[in-house]
Amino acid sequence: MRKFLLHLLYVSIPFLGLIVSFLILDPFKIIYHYDNYIDNSNVVPNRDYVSTQYFIDNYKSYNYNSFMFGSSRTAGIYIDDWKKYLPNNSSPYSFDASGESIYGIWKKVRLLDSLHVPINNALLLICPTTTFQQEDNVYTYIGIKHPSLSNEYVKFYKIHLEAYLHPNFFIPYFDYLLFKKYKPYMEGVIDLRSVNYVEITNDLRLVHSDLELQSDSLDYYKSRENLFYSRNFSEIQYRQQQLSVRQKMMLEEIKSIFIKHKTDYKILITPLYDQIKLHKNDSLYLHSIFDNIYDYSGQNSITNNRYNFYEDSHFKPYVGRIILSEINK
Amino acid sequence: MLFNSLEFALFLPIVFLLYWFVFNKHLRLQNFFIVVVSYVFYGWWDWRFLLLIAFTTLCSWLSGVLIQRYQEQRDSNSTQINWAKIVSATNIILNLGILGVFKYYNFFVNSFVEAFASFDIHLQPTTLYIILPVGISFYTFQALSYSIDVYRKQLEPTKDIVSFFAYVSFFPQLVAGPIERATNLLPQFYQKRVFEYDKAVDGMRQILWGLFKKIVIADNCAVYVNNVFDNYELHTGSTLLIAAIFFAFQIYGDFSGYSDIAIGTARLFGFNLMRNFNFPYFSRDIAEFWRRWHISLSTWFRDYLYIPLGGSRGGKWMSVRNTLIIFTVSGFWHGANWTFIAWGLFHGLLFLPLLLAKKNRKNTNSVAENRLLPSPLELVQMGSTFLLVVIGWIFFRADSIADAINYIFNLLQWGTFRAVYRILFMPEFIFIAILLFIEWIHRIKGHGLDLNYIKSKPIKFLIYYTLIFLIMKYGGKSADFIYFQF
């Protein structure tokens, strides 16, 4: 038996080493506590974890009472810009996540309610392509929700460990860690692009795109010609119906929590380059639940102009300022 | 709990250490521990069905005790009613009844409704929303074999209820076999197990090989196969042929991979399970294929259906009838769909010419025995047998018989064989080539990674690490084992 266990240990050494390195290096920044999730991190983060953990760590210090929910489309609306339209005592927070779904927004609103955090103001960004894509948690290390939201603690750490143990992750990860040189095969694991999260407000800024635009805006769009395809619609285009029964229930609960908190909310259906509107029934349902819905999807002055977008899905902050001024008239 | 999951990777070492270091002092305690961990293993999927398996086990154990008691009474008084037969029959009906309700109820109802509808009689059926308990066909057959063997006086019934529960629920083979006979497995629970180094090391190798077959072969092929079979009307003949070939390897990797992990795991705990696959795609005819594919099921049907029906003792035509019956029932065992029945019947029809020509036991040895490569004739025989098996798998995989027939017609388009060379450049093909190469080398061994003949440790470790790396790097999207649904 001793010999067998020793042999098993020899065979297992590389894997045990990997597991130990996972625990020590904490590549996803999910094991230890961090004041800042940006510094010294070249690994694509789970944005939901960062937003939620940062909130849990700081909500008592900063007395957050106003929240912006949504996916990375929130990068188009700076918290500082939104704050101009909020009452003086507001302390806004960008509670976003990558590819945020209505499930994630629902869970976040519920978390706020359970923690007795006041939700005085809310700006809810509904992306026609992502918000209603999922009605449950997403089991990828980028997509899985913070366990405080989902209550799936074991699954959360399991998904991250499994992702780490995959050669497609740990080989580029160690390669970069040791040699500090980015190689094309590391794409998707190592991200050296400069993305900035503003301290306190957790505001997402696509700095890398802004820098690229500043250096040569013509080349920026030329290199993304394939993303800005031609759209010659003779009539209004609608997406397929997306809202499920469960998602409707989530929307209703969000509304009831807003009512409970007397929240001054606004629902923004974000502009997308594809100019395809939400399905009429989905739009009607949203209007039956919420007031203050502002729909910027489909054909309009914002979506007509490709230069209003970083690529086909993220609108620029100056567009956000235009939208804010319009919806707060 | 899936073998290819992180949960099982934690479960197995914990159970292994507790089994050998904590519960090894008392046999009964060790057996009880096996029952507990087996129920945890099964309950991980859905704890509600633990009651069902416990009920099935209890009924079969009781039937064994009662059969022996009534047989002894009848031996002393032959005029008495044959209660042993009644108990045995009741147990069979009960077990098959449970299996029938959970697995076949909706199928029979829908089939009746469709049959009546063809006479313009429209019935309003009551179908039930039934979840099929994982592995029900496997443990039901295992429990059945026990009471039948006791009735036939081929096995002494056990009074040891813990051992019997351990036998039916033994976690390595609980949900997808091999379907063990009580005559082989049950006595192993009566004996004190002694840890054997060589056996455990070989068990680990077999687990590794099983994981490679499941994770690299089956899960990768599954992606291509699902895409094609779900929209087969849209694809060209060559794509359909490649998907059918990939499905042959998907189901082989999936099922034989599970069996390898099961047998290897059992060996870690000191148990010997029966062999379930013996390199079936190296078969030279269909009869040989069935001696090498899902051996525990084929032999089960042989012993508990074919022989009781008269086997080949009643002449040629009885033999033909019985052969067709067991192939059809074997197909039906796989699932409540006409496609499985068609698959079974198809194999039965392929088997018949060999049976009638008395050539069904022609190839009982290994192909190219004592040679490195097969002869051209053997190559043709293996290739043609494989193609026939692939056609059968189309029925097995299709949603309906009409779909299967359309699939085959679409496959036979002009250009099918001209464009099929594409398969050579697909990663799945490279994995399959690795599988075939390794299995060919080990075709007379116990399993694909039976490396006892290699003395060099560095070479062995190189093989282990290469396979582990392939599993980690090229592991397809984790999926359930196909045979769980049976």
Please list, in sequence order, all residues whose beta carbon lies within 8 angstroms of the beta carbon of residue A133, skipping any fewer than 6 positions away. A99, A101, A242
Q: Which residues of A touch B461 (CB under 8 A)?
A: 10-11
Judge if ipTM > 0.95: no
Asked whether the predicted pLDDT for residue B172 surpasses 70, the reply is yes
Q: Which chain B residue shows the shortest CA-CA distance from A166? A: B472
First to last CA, chain B: 16
What is the percentage of chain B residues whose pLDDT exceeds 70? Answer: 94
Please answer yes or no on whether A1 and B197 come within 8 Å at the CB atom: yes
C-alpha to C-alpha distances, A130 to A99, A243, B318, B401, nearest whole angstrom: 6, 12, 64, 39
DSSP code string of B337-396: SHHHHHHHHHHHHHHHHHHHTT-TTS--S-TTTTSSS--HHHHHHHHHHHHHHHHHHHHH
pLDDT (tens digit per residue) in B35-57: 999 999 999 888 888 998 999 99
Q: Is A8 within 8 Å of chain B by CB?
A: yes
Q: How far apart are CA B282 and CA B203, in angstroms?
A: 23
Return the residue in A1, A2, A4 with the most chain B beta carbons within 10 A, the one to mutate for interface testing: A4
Q: Which residues of A touch B475 (CB under 8 A)?
A: 166
C-alpha to C-alpha distances, B449 to A45, A110, B175, B371, B463, nearest whole angstrom: 40, 53, 23, 19, 9
Which portions of chain A are predicted below pLDDT 50? Answer: none
Contact A71, A127 (CB under 8 A): yes
pLDDT (tens digit per residue) in A241-275: 999 999 999 999 999 999 999 999 999 999 999 88
Q: Which residues of B touch A163 (CB under 8 A)?
A: none
| Confidence (pTM) | 0.79
pLDDT band for position B333 (50/70/90)?
confident
Q: Rounded to an integer, what is the distance from CA A198 to the centroid of its chain?
A: 14
Q: How far apart are CA B155 and CA B172, in angstroms?
A: 23
Asked whether the predicted pLDDT for residue B358 surpasses 90, the reply is no
Query: What is the set of active-site residues of B?
Result: 334
Q: Which residues of B touch A8 (CB under 8 A)?
A: 204
Q: Is A6 within 8 Å of chain B by CB?
A: no
Please answer yes or no on whether A11 and B461 come within 8 Å at the CB atom: yes
Query: At CB < 8 Å, which residues of chain B contact A?
Result: 6, 20, 195, 197, 200-201, 204, 461, 464-465, 468-469, 472-473, 475
Please answer yes or no on whether B461 and A158 come within 8 Å at the CB atom: no
Q: What share of chain B is helix, strand, coil (3-state, %, to 5)?
A: 70, 0, 30
- DSSP E strand boundaries for chain A: 66-70, 92-96, 121-126, 196-197, 204-205, 237-238, 264-269, 276-277, 293-295
Question: For the stretch B261-287, what's the b/e string if a residue is b when 16 or more beta carbons lie within 10 angstroms of its beta carbon?
Answer: bbbbbbbbbbbebbebbbbbbbbbbbb
